[in-house]
Amino acid sequence: MSAHDYSFDTIDGGQQIDLKDFAGKTVLVTNTASACGYTPQYEGLQELWQRYRARGLVVIGVPSNDFGAQEPGTETEIQEFCATRFHVDFPMTTKQVVIGGAAHPFYKWVASTVGEDAAPKWNFHKYLIGPDGALAGTFPSKVDPLGAELTAQIEALL
């Protein structure tokens, strides 16, 4: 199994995001929330997307209400918030459960691949997927999307 075996519904409900479509690219998957202390990280995620997408980076936001009920809105409200507050235009999924038995299959795969300790502990936990679909890195919420720790790994994979 690899990340390429999973998919998400888009936030607007119009399509599916099939991770297999990103074979050969580097993908950053982040669980997000609109009312979190880390919410300003949307800015950094958008900057990563703008800076590296021409080189093959795909950023995917996965809204989740799992931590502190900090994403209570509907998909339409989340999409509007992200577009108007942070000018987000990277792909976003429908709201997902990212922890526990009801977690989206992608998040269950991450936990089974590298252990339960790799499951998100809070909003804006980041997973870096290599061009081959393998999990290339996990980054907790406190890691700034534009920080050297993450950008160095992205650049190494591009």
Give the active site residues. Answer: 36
Q: Report in angstroms the alpha-carbon separations of 37 from 43, 94, 148.
A: 13, 21, 21
3-state secondary structure of 143: coil
Q: Count the alpha carbons within 13 Å of 2 in the hemisphere toward its beta carbon.
A: 17
Q: Residue 73 contacts by C-beta under 8 Å, 6 or more apart in sequence? A: 34, 81
Among 59, 44, 57, residue whose Cα is nearest residue 157: 57
